[in-house]
């Protein structure tokens, strides 16, 4: 299965990273040759990979400022006397000694190259970060129980997970995280944020948050715990509307959703609400499988768009055609700013194929695909390689999904245990 937003792993090394390996070798050469002989290095205007031709623009790249900076650091830099290091890639041992190795500077240079893309989801993972990331995708971690992402260059809560410390502490989808503990999150990477949030079970982490509709920043303390992620809940309401609440698109979601659909059919109702609010996504396979219960065979669910000039690489994912419901099905899908990735894919597909009406708030807009590329044995590159488009061509990462019926949920609604979004969906179905 493919995880929405991530492909694992790849043996492909793009030109630029092969070039960086060449730069790494040149670093050693520069170290031994010394400052006086650097003129030969400064004449390099570009690096050519024999297997991948460079563009005209790349062939004119002047690397002399890089080497000037490298040699200036070697010649003149003096670390802080208290032993602190300015290198975010340095190991804990180096941080205590104030020493930054040549290899640390290589990792920093690569990270700077990736940062120049301006994409919060593309990041270079040096050894320590790479190990943490692999633990995360395997689920071997504890934490506070929330999905985070970048929105307008700000660390943002996609959604708190149901029945986790984050939800119980009052964290909400859309909260902007200004600080994690004493660390300001401006310009922080997602991986660094995750590292700060993780910690020993039972310990506390404090978030400084800004929330829409609330004046000024405020602190929320959350106690770390082992996180168990729920998948699905069902309810047959007294008014005859059947509600399926899907919390994520995990590996077991298709099986559980199939059982929930059977429960819906046996209930005798023809009015279905699929609640995808706070659903951060998951596996592409799960999104395609679940969407296929509502669409004829061959209908487009989503297109994986690899960008201009790469149209021949685009992949179209189509319905498998289970399509067990007829026109008597009345369906609404609830979404909000915590609905992301696979949730947006399914909501967009069923809405654009006129199977369901969307109710709620605009979705998060996480529509990019990252590939994990091994750079060395213990380092990786998480790189955005494609974007998701709805059947009608909406770029999810740019626009998100906007419901036909926009209904906001206020703090007052939450305090009074009201749900105007669900109420609106119910009213629409009962009126048909």
pLDDT of residue 55: 59
The count of other CB atoms within 10 Å of the CB of residue 304 is 18
Q: Output helix, strand, coil percentages for the chain, rounded to the nearest 5.
A: 35, 25, 40
pLDDT of residue 97: 46
The one catalytic residue in 172, 285, 304, 352 is 352
Are 7 and 369 in contact, with CB atoms under 8 Å apart? yes
The count of other CB atoms within 10 Å of the CB of residue 132 is 16
The one catalytic residue in 179, 366, 382, 424 is 366
Phi, psi of 196 (to 5 degrees): -70, -35
Are 222 and 207 in contact, with CB atoms under 8 Å apart? yes
Concerning whether 269 is annotated as a catalytic residue, the answer is: no
Sign of the CA dihedral running 266, 272, 278, 281: positive
**pLDDT of the chain, 432 residues: tens digit per residue:** 445 555 544 433 333 333 333 333 333 333 333 333 333 333 333 334 445 555 556 667 788 888 889 999 989 988 875 544 444 444 434 444 457 888 889 999 999 999 999 888 898 988 877 666 665 555 445 689 998 988 888 999 998 988 899 999 999 999 999 999 999 999 888 878 988 998 888 899 999 999 988 899 999 999 999 887 788 999 999 999 999 999 999 888 999 999 999 999 999 999 999 999 999 998 899 999 999 999 999 999 999 999 999 999 999 999 999 999 988 999 999 999 999 999 999 999 999 999 999 999 999 998 888 888 889 988 989 899 999 999 999 999 987 999 999 999 988 888 888 999 999 999 999 999
- CA distance linking residue 181 with residue 11, whole number of Å: 38
| β-strand pairing of 368-376 with 7-10 | parallel
| Torsion of the alpha carbons at 362, 1, 252 and 397, rounded to the nearest 10 | -10
For the record, the structure tokens of 396 come out as: 């999810």
Concerning whether 352 is annotated as a catalytic residue, the answer is: yes
Beta strands in 126-284 (DSSP E): 142-143, 146-151, 154-160, 176-180, 183-184, 204-210, 218-223, 225-226, 232-236, 242-246, 271-275
Q: How far is CA 315 from CA 74, 184, 339, in A?
A: 47, 39, 23
The count of other CB atoms within 10 Å of the CB of residue 8 is 14
The one catalytic residue in 341, 368, 380, 397 is 341
Concerning whether 94 is annotated as a catalytic residue, the answer is: no
Are 330 and 384 in contact, with CB atoms under 8 Å apart? no
For residue 263, what is the enclosing H or E element?
helix 253-267
- CA distance linking residue 169 with residue 277, whole number of Å: 19
**CB proximity list for 89: less than 8 A, separation 6 or greater:** 104, 107, 108, 111, 126
The count of other CB atoms within 10 Å of the CB of residue 374 is 16
| DSSP state letter for 3 | B
SS3 266: helix
**CB proximity list for 112: less than 8 A, separation 6 or greater:** none
- CA distance linking residue 247 with residue 282, whole number of Å: 10
């Amino acid at each position: 299965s493919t995880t929405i937003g991530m492909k694992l792993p790849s043996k492909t090394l793009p030109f630029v990273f092969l070039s960086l390996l060449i730069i790494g070798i040149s670093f050693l050469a520069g170290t031994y040759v010394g400052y006086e002989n650097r003129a030969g290095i400064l004449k390099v205007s570009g690096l050519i990979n024999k297997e991948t031709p460079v563009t005209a623009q790349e062939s004119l790249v002047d690397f002399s400022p890089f080497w000037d900076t490298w040699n200036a650091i070697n010649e003149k830099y003096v670390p802080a006397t208290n032993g602190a290091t300015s290198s975010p890639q340095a190991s804990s041992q180096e941080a205590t000694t104030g020493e930054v190795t040549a290899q640390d500077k290589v990792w920093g240079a690569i990270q700077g190259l990736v940062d120049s893309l301006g994409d919060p989801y593309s990041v270079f993972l040096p050894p320590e970060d790479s190990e943490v990331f692999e633990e995360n995708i395997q689920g071997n971690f504890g934490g506070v129980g929330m999905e985070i992402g970048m929105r307008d260059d700000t660390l943002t809560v996609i959604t708190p997970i149901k029945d986790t410390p984050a939800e119980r502490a009052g964290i909400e989808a859309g909260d902007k995280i200004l600080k994690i503990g004493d660390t300001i999150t401006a310009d922080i990477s997602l991986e660094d944020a995750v590292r700060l949030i993780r910690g020993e079970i039972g310990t506390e982490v404090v978030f400084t948050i800004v929330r829409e509709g609330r004046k000024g920043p405020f602190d929320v303390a959350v106690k770390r715990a082992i996180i168990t992620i729920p998948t699905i809940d069902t309810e047959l309401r007294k008014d005859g509307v059947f509600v399926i609440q899907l919390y994520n698109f995990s590996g077991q979601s298709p099986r559980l959703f199939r059982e929930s659909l059977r429960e819906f059919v046996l209930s005798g109702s023809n009015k279905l609400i699929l609640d995808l609010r706070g659903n951060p996504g998951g596996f592409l396979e799960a999104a395609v499988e679940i969407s296929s219960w509502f669409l004829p065979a061959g209908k487009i669910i989503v297109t994986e768009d690899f960008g201009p000039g790469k149209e021949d690489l685009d992949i179209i994912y189509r319905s498998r055609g289970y399509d067990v419901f007829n026109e008597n099905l009345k369906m609404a899908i609830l979404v909000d700013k915590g609905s992301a990735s696979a949730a947006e894919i399914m909501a967009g597909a069923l809405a654009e194929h006129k199977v369901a009406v969307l109710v709620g708030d605009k979705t998060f807009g996480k529509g990019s695909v990252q590939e994990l590329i091994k750079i060395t044995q213990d380092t990786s590159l998480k790189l955005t390689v494609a974007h998701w488009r709805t059947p009608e061509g909406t770029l999810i990462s740019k626009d998100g999904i906007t419901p036909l019926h926009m209904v906001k949920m206020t703090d007052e609604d939450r305090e009074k245990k009201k749900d105007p979004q669900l109420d609106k969906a119910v009213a629409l179905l009962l009126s048909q």
